[in-house]
Amino acid sequence: DAGVTQSPTHLIKTRGQQVTLRCSPKSGHDTVSWYQQALGQGPQFIFQYYEEEERQRGNFPDRFSGHQFPNYSSELNVNALLLGDSALYLCASSLIQPNTEAFFGQGTRLTVV
Amino acid sequence: AQSVTQLDSQVPVFEEAPVELRCNYSSSVSVYLFWYVQYPNQGLQLLLKYLSGSTLVKGINGFEAEFNKSQTSFHLRKPSVHISDTAEYFCAVMRGSGGSYIPTFGRGTSLIVHP
């Protein structure tokens, strides 16, 4: 079992650009959540996808959007990048029921310059 | 809404000494509680979780935690730490039932084990 895989591992973008991050969930999982972890902080919830729909959303602007595909993999898109978007972006997969444990990927380190 | 407070941002300790990482939560409903570990440049790995039942929870790598409802705490302990335990530790709380099933994380505690 490959667990949760994310790509790319590192990314450098220029302010104003757009970025897409990808996540493949753990085998058998149907729910994907995305988190932003700024340096020295805990993960902050961005949104959660289930059945290709955004199910829950945290306090993030509309510049952050996502998608879930029929095979349960997911993408996180960020438009009009700001310097403050520099962070580790974590993907977590779980089962919608019972949703009592999330498995995390290694993350994508995004640097905006 | 629930929240988590990790009372120590950094805990230095010598190898083979015991350690306790403190976590307090606030919630008006029943909760699930978790401890995750994050090694440098890696994602989060689940150490242990409390869902219900026994208040003493045993996890991986010799860690354990005790759920104390009256004190709204879920402190993490290990009787004897190793150099390899040096990492960032995150406490998380999630609404136990009928909720959004989204964990809220604390800011983390950096455990530094000295030889």
| Sequence ranges of the domains in chain B | 3-114
State the pLDDT at residue A53: 94
Give the mean pLDDT of A63-85. Answer: 97
User: Are the Cβ atoms of A100 and B51 closer than 8 angstroms?
Assistant: yes
State the pLDDT at residue B98: 58
User: Are the Cβ atoms of A42 and B32 closer than 8 angstroms?
Assistant: no
Whether the per-residue pLDDT at A96 is higher than 90: the answer is no
Give the mean pLDDT of A92-109. Answer: 85
User: Are the Cβ atoms of A33 and B102 closer than 8 angstroms?
Assistant: yes
Tell me which DSSP letter residue B49 carries: E
Give the mean pLDDT of A33-62. Answer: 93
Lowest mean pLDDT among A18-22, A46-50, A99-103, A104-108: A99-103
* Architecture label for domain B3-114: Sandwich (2.60)
Please tell me which of the candidates B43, B49, B107 has its beta carbon nearest to residue A41. B107
- Please count the residues of chain B: 115
State the pLDDT at residue B82: 97
Q: Does B49 touch chain A (CB under 8 A)?
A: yes
Residue with tokens 């972890």: A37
State the pLDDT at residue B108: 96
CA distances from B68 to A71, B24, B98, B101 (A): 41, 9, 22, 21
Alpha-carbon gap, residue A102 to A30, rounded angstroms: 11
Q: Give the percent of chain A with pLDDT over 70.
A: 97
Cβ contact B72:B21 at 8 Å: no
Give the mean pLDDT of B29-44. Answer: 89
Q: Does A99 touch chain B (CB under 8 A)?
A: yes
In this structure, the dihedral spanned by the alpha carbons of residues A113, A89, B104 and B34, taken in order and rounded to 10 degrees, is: -140
Q: Which of chain B's residues have a Cβ under 8 Å away from the Cβ of A96?
A: 101
CATH number at residue A32: 2.60.40.10
Q: Does A101 touch chain B (CB under 8 A)?
A: yes
Sequence-distant (≥ 6) Cβ neighbours of residue A76 within 8 angstroms: A20, A21, A22, A23, A34, A46, A64, A65, A66, A89, A91
Whether the per-residue pLDDT at B1 is higher than 80: the answer is no
**What mean pLDDT, rounded, does chain B reach?**
91
Tell me which DSSP letter residue B81 carries: -
State the pLDDT at residue A99: 66
Query: pLDDT category, B100, cuts 50, 70, 90?
Result: low
Query: pLDDT category, A61, cuts 50, 70, 90?
Result: very high
Cβ contact B64:B56 at 8 Å: yes
Give the mean pLDDT of A14-38. Answer: 96
Whether the per-residue pLDDT at B114 is higher than 60: the answer is yes
Q: Which of chain A's residues have a Cβ under 8 Å away from the Cβ of B31?
A: none
Give the mean pLDDT of B25-35. Answer: 87
pLDDT digits (tens, 9 = 90+) for B50-82: 988 889 999 999 999 999 999 999 999 999 999
Cβ-in-10-Å burial (0-12, 13-18, 19+) of A27 comes to exposed
Give the mean pLDDT of A77-83. Answer: 98
Cβ contact B38:B72 at 8 Å: no
Please tell me which of the candidates A40, A43, A101 has its beta carbon nearest to residue B49. A101
Whether the per-residue pLDDT at A60 is higher than 90: the answer is yes
Q: Does A5 touch chain B (CB under 8 A)?
A: no
Give the mean pLDDT of B12-20. Answer: 97
Return the higher-pLDDT residue of A16 and A97. Answer: A16
Query: How many domains does the structure of chain A reveal?
Result: 1
Q: Does A56 touch chain B (CB under 8 A)?
A: yes
Expressed as residue numbers, the domain containing A37 is 5-112
Binding-face residues of B in 61-80 toward A, CB within 8 A:
none
